[in-house]
């Protein structure tokens, strides 16, 4: 397995926006909305993977701080995913199925991704529950319910961290309360970091991957149909922490299939 490179190749596509995404095309408004949500999902996925790597590479109070940041990134990812689900539903309701079929012809990976995405954002989905309970909202009644339960069981994390560098202070005490609410959404113990955490984390990253795959192919198919796209090639830097996270994931997958 080759390590993730320090720099990655990219294709830069220049278009005439008015021809590529004309405002009077029914596909344009929901697609632009979905593209925006997808970029937010991509970035939140990276934040989550890098924060998870930091948790595994540190100890003590530093690990606790990274843990809080990791669970924040996870909640953020679920929130952006749920909003992308809303955007996807709007797109599906705005465009005829045959139109999507035309744009995705020969793009089997995108078609398969769309099939999985159709069932990923339901009311009872884990992503939806996280978004509604502690991702995009801070439900005071639920927070107090969890706090009182944990207090009665003697398991409140009574730690607060004040840092002289602005923005680095954190309250692990409330990080744990947020995690307990995610446990409820999952119906399992995520805090232990074991099999259930791996399962739920993999589930969410899988939805994010499907979303990126589908939207990327849909946009590419649309621009190809309209003869849009002046292509140049370039490279971008891959953050060291992201390289470490990706390489560790590949090693883990290799161990599982060995």
Pairing of strands 7-14, 230-237: antiparallel
Local structure of 57: helix, strand or coil: helix
Q: Token pair for residue 242?
A: 């992201």
| pLDDT at position 258 | 52
Give pTM, 2 decimals.
0.91
Q: Which residue did the predictor score with more confidence, 250 or 70? A: 70
The yes-or-no verdict on residue 218 having pLDDT over 60 is yes
Q: How far apart, in whole angstroms, are the C-alpha atoms of residue 248 and residue 258?
A: 15
pLDDT level of residue 241 (50, 70, 90 thresholds): very high
Quick one: what percent of the chain has pLDDT higher than 90? 76
Q: Chain-wide mean pLDDT for the chain?
A: 92
Q: How far apart, in whole angstroms, are the C-alpha atoms of residue 94 and residue 214?
A: 17
Residue listed under structure tokens 């990706």: 246
Which sequence spans correspond to the domains of the chain? 22-257
The yes-or-no verdict on residue 26 having pLDDT over 80 is yes
Q: What is the mean pLDDT of residues 80-93?
A: 96
Q: What does the pLDDT look like over 113-167, one tens digit per residue?
A: 999 999 999 888 999 999 988 888 888 999 999 999 999 999 888 999 999 998 9
| pLDDT at position 184 | 87
Q: What does the pLDDT look like over 46-71, one tens digit per residue?
A: 999 999 999 999 999 999 999 999 99
Which residues, listed in sequence order, are joined to residue 10 by a DSSP beta bridge? 234
From residue 32, how far is each of 209, 217, 220, 232 by CA, in Å?
Answer: 18, 14, 13, 23
The yes-or-no verdict on residue 252 having pLDDT over 60 is yes
Would you mind telling me the total number of residues written for the chain in this entry? 258
Q: How far apart, in whole angstroms, are the C-alpha atoms of residue 171 and residue 166?
A: 14
Q: Which residue did the predictor score with more confidence, 240 or 192? A: 240
Spatial CA neighbour of 27 closest among 86, 91, 112: 91
Q: What is the mean pLDDT of residues 193-207?
A: 84
pLDDT level of residue 197 (50, 70, 90 thresholds): confident
b/e map 184-203, b = 16+ CB within 10 Å = ebbebebeeeeebbeebbee
| pLDDT at position 67 | 92
Q: How far apart, in whole angstroms, are the C-alpha atoms of residue 65 and residue 55?
A: 8
């Amino acid at each position: 397995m080759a390590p993730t490179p320090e720099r990655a190749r990219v294709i830069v596509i220049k278009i005439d926006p008015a021809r590529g995404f004309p405002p009077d095309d029914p596909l344009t408004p929901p697609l632009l909305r979905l593209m925006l949500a997808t970029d937010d999902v991509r970035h939140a996925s990276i934040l989550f993977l890098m924060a998870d790597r930091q948790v595994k590479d540190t100890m003590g109070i530093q690990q606790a701080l990274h843990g809080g940041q990791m669970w924040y990134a996870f909640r953020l990812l679920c929130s952006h995913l749920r909003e992308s689900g809303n955007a996807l539903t709007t797109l599906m309701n705005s465009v005829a199925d045959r139109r999507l079929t035309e744009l995705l012809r020969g793009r089997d990976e995108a078609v398969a991704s769309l099939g999985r995405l159709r069932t990923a954002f339901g009311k009872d989905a884990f992503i939806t529950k996280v978004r509604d309970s502690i991702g995009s909202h801070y439900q005071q009644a639920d927070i107090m319910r969890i706090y009182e339960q944990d207090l009665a069981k003697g398991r409140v994390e009574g730690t607060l961290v004040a840092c002289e560098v602005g923005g680095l202070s954190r309250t692990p005490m409330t990080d744990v309360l947020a995690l307990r609410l995610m446990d409820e959404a999952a119906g399992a113990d995520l805090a232990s970091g074991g099999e259930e955490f791996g399962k739920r984390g993999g589930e969410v990253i899988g939805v994010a991957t499907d979303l990126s795959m589908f939207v990327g192919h849909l946009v590419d198919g649309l621009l190809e149909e309209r003869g849009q796209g002046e292509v140049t090639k370039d490279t971008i830097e891959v953050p060291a922490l992201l390289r470490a996270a990706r390489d560790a994931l590949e090693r883990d997958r290799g161990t599982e299939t060995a």
